[in-house]
Amino acid sequence: MKLKKMLIPFFAGAIALSLAACGDKDEDKEKNNATDEQAFEEMDKKLKEQRIDDDQVVVVVNDEEVTGETYNTVLQSVQLDVLQSGQDPTEGDMPENIQNQTVDVLINQALILQEAKKEKIEVKDKEFDEKYAMYIEQAGGDEEALEKALKQENTTIDKFKENIRESILFEKYQEKKVQVDEVSKEDIQKFYDDLAAESKDAEEDEEMPALEDIEDNIKTVLEQQLQQEALMKHVEKLKDASKVDIKL
């Protein structure tokens, strides 16, 4: 099974996804039976077995060491992505694929952060405060609840804040350095036609919405695809000019 290419997940988002998983776990205890809870616990245990020591050096990118602490954060995001696709992250060659994908993400992240610093891109306090407030809201508006959830995932509120700043830095770098062409009406129409054909082939009962009703959504999807493709090409150029030493 070929994993979906993930260039750079939002750093804080990776942790937020794991927090969401924790929330689902608590909800399961209330709604699901003992068998479901046991299956969740067994899967959670298997996933945690894929983590490595926080102090272990995973990869060196241009003389900058990336350790297991960062690896484990990204690993959780990749694992959850696989779970949500209906795959088992612990079966067959999936653990090796996940490890390779996680290392690839770490390399890309390190390169982007290094370049952002060279470009002297900075995160303003207001930008950070707005993003942090969003995560507090997701935690029920309680900073202590967020801190408790982070502790359960073997991380700290300070590390979480650092990840937020890095995610903003990445977004600003992408806006500055990665330019894409505007999505055309023809591109939107083709995407819609392909979607309609797939829906018809699948014999779905739901009626296909009119183009004007989902045009903005399609445009957003296509813009994101173009940005991702352009960013991947940009990072590949950075890799060619960099020294990368994988230690795993």
Q: Answer whether residue 45 shows pLDDT above 70.
A: yes
Distance CA 184, CA 222 (A): 10
Q: Answer whether residue 74 shows pLDDT above 60.
A: yes
What is the pLDDT confidence band of residue 34, given thresholds at 50, 70 and 90? low
Tell me what the pLDDT averaged over the chain comes to: 84
Q: Give the DSSP per-residue string, 149-217.
A: HHHHTT--HHHHHHHHHHHHHHHHHHHHH---PPPPHHHHHHHHHHHHHHHHHTT-SSPPPPHHHHHHH
123-132, 138-147, 197-206 — most confident range: 123-132
DSSP H/E element including 237: helix 211-240
Structure tokens at 103: 């290392």
Q: Answer whether residue 235 shows pLDDT above 60.
A: yes
Instruction: Give me the percent of the chain exceeding a pLDDT of 70.
Output: 85
Q: Where is pLDDT greater, at 3 or 49?
A: 49
Q: Where is pLDDT greater, at 65 or 149?
A: 65
Q: Where is pLDDT greater, at 232 or 17?
A: 232
Task: Tell me which long-range contacts 90-97 makes (C-beta under 8 A, separation of at least 24).
Answer: 90/43, 90/46, 90/47, 90/50, 92/1, 94/1, 95/50, 97/1, 97/3
What is the pLDDT confidence band of residue 14, given thresholds at 50, 70 and 90? very low
Distance CA 114, CA 15 (A): 22
What is the pLDDT confidence band of residue 27, given thresholds at 50, 70 and 90? low
59 forms bridges with which residues in the sheet?
66, 246
pLDDT at res. 22: 47
pLDDT at res. 150: 80
The string of pLDDT tens digits covering residues 167-223 is 899 889 988 998 888 999 999 999 999 998 888 776 666 788 999 999 999 999 999
Distance CA 216, CA 226 (A): 15
Structure tokens at 156: 């700290």
Is the Cβ–Cβ distance between 78 and 96 less than 8 Å? no
Nearest residue to 74 (alpha-carbon basis) of 106, 52, 49, 45? 106
What is the pLDDT confidence band of residue 2, given thresholds at 50, 70 and 90? very low
